[in-house]
Amino acid sequence: MKLTKAVHNSRRDFLNLSLATGTAALIPRVAGAKANARKDQYDPDSPKLAVKIDVHSATDDELLFLKQMGLQWVHIALGQDAPYEVIRTTQERLGRYGIKIHSALLDTYRSLKIQLGQPGRDEDIEKFQTFLRDLGRVGVFSAGIDFHPANTYTTQMIESARGYEVREFSVDDFRQKVEKPRFERSYSADDIWANYTYFIKAVLPVAEKANVRLGLHPDDPPITPMNGVAKIFTHYDGIKRADEIAGHSPYWGLTFCVGTWSEGGTYMGKDVFGMIRDFGTRGKIFAVHFRNVSSPLPTFHETFPDDGYQDMYAVMKALRQVRCTASLIPDHYPRVVGDQNVRIANAYCISYMRALRQRVIAEVG
């Protein structure tokens, strides 16, 4: 009996020691996991997760929802007019939910007077200059711009194989069924380059002084011409030329739309990863539209990020490798059943993006 009891006590002590040792070994791992989660959330060398909101219609519940998803950044759409008080009070309102504006859009830059070089463009440019100064006053990082005044984004809406509704673009359908002249005359590439150059030379010095970056979005879809107007940002060569016009200023860069660049496929001059290495390495990607498509042109439809042909994990990893700190939004949400204000699509995309982001931080270091 004594021997049996001794053996029993020995086994019990061994088990207790093993349990204690195992528990002790787990503690650093748990702490490390929490630290990694926090690093994912706040790491200054990582892309920032964000969503685009309309500040005029966003409710308090919607902002609370963003906070509940762990978001700290947004892109805001301000329409045609954005007095300083609107920008300031928006920043303050978002601040109550722990959120800040990272990028902002004011449709003034899309004025046909600016983009087609019409009389009155200087007045519209001045409005955009004021907008940039106001963004600087409240600490907004960047402003988005694009330059395609006669664009057609969609040839039809379709239902994807998974059953959600998305936009489709077909070059054949566009050329044969949709395209028609928009203006009284056609505009050549030289015309559009002249108008773009005039605009950027006027606004870039103001952006630099205001400490606000200008993020150029490529032409979506990347084909030219459209509706009688040339498009100039459908290829790497156009983006490169725009960088040169800006004097390679650190305040000029990209709103890099992964979806648009994927639409062009092998015809873009550089693929998505080449663009990230080129502009991301130089700190000239300010915002990213993190979306996917079914295939390159001549026909594509948009998809959820996990449902297209582009490897979005590889995209996130490439952004991390160049230490890109841009804000990433899931753009052009697919329509899913019962989703009146895109909360479901928002949550789906952000959750997927967050998982990719956590993984690449752990993997790349």
pLDDT > 80? residue 35: no
Residue boundaries of the structural domains of the chain = 1-42, 47-364
* 301 CB-side CA count, 13 A: 19
The residue-averaged pLDDT of 273-297 equals 98
300-332 pLDDT, tens digit each = 999 999 999 999 999 999 999 999 999 999 999
Residue 235's pLDDT band, with cuts at 50, 70 and 90, is very high
240-250 pLDDT, tens digit each = 999 999 999 99
CA distance 65 to 60: 9
**Secondary structure (H, E, C), 84-130:** HHHHHHHHHHHHCCCCEEEEEECHHHHCHHHHCCCCCHHHHHHHHHH
Which residues have C-beta within 8 Å of that of residue 258, sequence separation ≥ 6? 272, 288, 289, 290, 291, 292, 310, 312, 315
- Give the least confident one: 10-19, 201-210, 224-233: 10-19
What are residue 262's phi and psi, to 5 degrees? -70, -30
pLDDT > 70? residue 11: no
37-84 pLDDT, tens digit each = 455 555 667 899 999 999 889 999 999 999 999 999 999 999 888 999
Q: Is 145 helix (H, G, I), strand (E, B) or coil?
A: strand
CA distance 128 to 354: 34
Residue 36's pLDDT band, with cuts at 50, 70 and 90, is low
Return the CATH number of the domain spanning residue range 47-364. Answer: 3.20.20.150
Greater confidence (154 vs 342) lies with: 154
Q: What percent of the chain has pLDDT over 70?
A: 88
* pLDDT for residue 162: 96
CA distance 27 to 4: 35
* pLDDT for residue 116: 98
Long-range contacts of 273-278 (CB under 8 A, 24+ apart): 273/314, 273/315, 273/318, 274/236, 275/236, 275/239, 276/315, 276/318, 276/319, 276/322, 276/324, 277/318, 277/322
Across 28-37, 44-53, 169-178, which has the greatest mean pLDDT? 169-178
The residue-averaged pLDDT of 170-184 equals 97
pLDDT > 90? residue 19: no
The interaxial angle of helices 121-137 and 84-95, nearest 10 deg, is 30
